[in-house]
Amino acid sequence: MTENAQVKALEQIMPATHGADEDLDWRAVEAVWGGRLPSDYVAFMGRFGAGTINGEAEILRPLPTPGLQWAPDHMAEETANARAAWEAHGGRSAFDADPEAVIAWGVTTAADILCWLTTDPDPDRWPVLVCGRHTADTFAVYPYGMAEFLRRLLSDEFDVSPVSITFWDGGQHSFVHWRKAQRRWQEGRNPETGEPDPYAGDFAD
């Protein structure tokens, strides 16, 4: 795995203890998405993988895969949702960009979709585009890569939250890989905390 400074900084406040290398075929990923994805996302997939942050946000896999209990969310389905939201809110009158330039990499439990705006030919210069559900603006661009955006979000560095929920409480942030979360569920434990959960069990979502 190639070390990335932004992912390393993020790991200082959100340990990768419950993360796992997603072990992706990046040539296959590039074939699907028409080129390489940002290096911080690639490094994140190698260090953390896909999964949830504080039980309130989910980082998506770039390709679909079968799950242990249910299929984890992936970029294509949320990208389609973000592009549909662009159309539903007025298209270019709401946000002047080609919808094909929007690629989703994360979601929140409040239905915000976290995306890249891919207009720059260099993926490492793609800013974050938030398609917000209950935010001040439905579409807002932030001049940071995915990892730096998350670090700033979890450090509460924005004057106005870019997402519809608050998922920091001053304590340590947690990340749980989707496979670990599903194993916990099958074992009757809370997917995020690992504590016994009477509502968890081995049935499909």
pLDDT score of 205: 41
pLDDT score of 68: 80
Question: Kind and range of the H or E element at 57?
Answer: strand 57-59
Q: What is the pLDDT of residues 1-28, one digit of tens each?
A: 568 999 999 999 999 999 999 999 999 9
Q: Are 53 and 154 in contact (CB under 8 A)?
A: yes
Q: Are 33 and 111 in contact (CB under 8 A)?
A: no
Question: Kind and range of the H or E element at 141?
Answer: strand 139-142
pLDDT score of 168: 62
Give the count of beta carbons closer than 10 Å to the beta carbon of residue 165.
15
pLDDT score of 46: 97
Confidence of residue 167 (pLDDT cuts 50, 70, 90): low
Cα 107 to Cα 19: distance, rounded to the nearest angstrom: 18
Name the residue with higher pLDDT: 168 or 183: 183
Q: What is the pLDDT of residues 93-152, one digit of tens each?
A: 889 999 999 999 999 999 999 999 999 999 999 999 999 999 989 999 999 999 999 999
Cα 104 to Cα 128: distance, rounded to the nearest angstrom: 9
**Mean pLDDT estimate for the chain:** 91
Give me the half-sphere count of Cα atoms (radius 13 Å) on the Cβ side of residue 144.
Answer: 17
Q: Which tokens sit at 102?
A: 């929007």
Tokens 């590039």 — which residue?
30
Q: Has residue 204 got a pLDDT over 60?
A: no
pLDDT score of 169: 62
Positive or negative, the CA dihedral 156, 161, 162, 164 is: positive
Give the count of beta carbons closer than 10 Å to the beta carbon of residue 99.
16
Name the residue with higher pLDDT: 69 or 77: 77
Domains of the chain, with CATH numbers? 5-186 (3.40.1580)
Q: Which tokens sit at 58?
A: 């989910």
Confidence of residue 195 (pLDDT cuts 50, 70, 90): confident
